[in-house]
Amino acid sequence: MTTLLRETLDHSSIYMPTPARIVAVEQFTELEKWFHLELPSGFTIAHQPGQFVEVSVLGIGEAPISICSSPARSNGAFELCVRRVGKLTEALHRLEPGSMIGVRGPFGHGFPIDRFQGKDIVFVAGGLGLAPLRSLITEVLDERGKYGRVALLYGARTPNDFLFPADLKAWAERGDIECHVTVDRPTDGWDGHVGVITTLLPKIDFPARNTIATVVGPPVMYKFVLQDLLAKGIAEGNIWLSFERQMKCGVGKCGHCQMHHIYTCQTGPVLSYAEVKDLEEALS
């Protein structure tokens, strides 16, 4: 079995993509679609939760997109959740099952999951941030016995903006993960929590010394979530953030993702708060 990264590195150019076939597509929200992709026979994605691939559409361009599926369930396939925000993602949203796209990677460093074993874990996801965290959540749930208490805090603008609704329902029905969701703006029929994501944090009373927090969401969310996590006593080195929004080429050449001395696509996109707390570019 050949890994996609080995194939990417062995090409005459690191920018040469490997073809992947779209097997299934599901519309989650007005802006987000889920894609199930299949690699050529004999290939495996072999990714870490939190890593990303460069996705290309012939004649349109390329963009970095986080992998949202579990490494343990890859078997020559993987999943992406794509927000329609530009030419590349608009082109992706027009594609149907059977269409071919290009992929290269996976790139960067994901969550250091081996260091999470034996710990309580809090997942904090805002909006599209649930996509990269879903890869980690499913990996943890697939190996549930290796971890302590597990909780998901997830916020969206409205009830119509929730991603992965089937997963949210399945996780809420499990007895081994606490699921708390909130919306900024309720719609008719919504009887759940209303408020920004930090209003969910008081629901979590894990012992700080044994807790890992993983946070992925819009930049404006980080500052306030970090304040509350640190106030709970969670160690700076046990708070993990994704900076996937910073990336472009994926291989440290363009400098687009640079935060002071850190190339996010190479050292990140997942970094601990201890690593970035003094970088103005990271949390501004």
Residue numbers belonging to the annotated binding site for [2Fe-2S] cluster:
249, 254, 257, 265
Q: Which two tokens stand for residue 163?
A: 């991603």
- Is residue 152 a contact partner of residue 179, using CB atoms and an 8 Å limit? yes
Question: Annotated binding residues, as ranges?
Answer: 249, 254, 257, 265
Structure tokens at 26: 């599901």
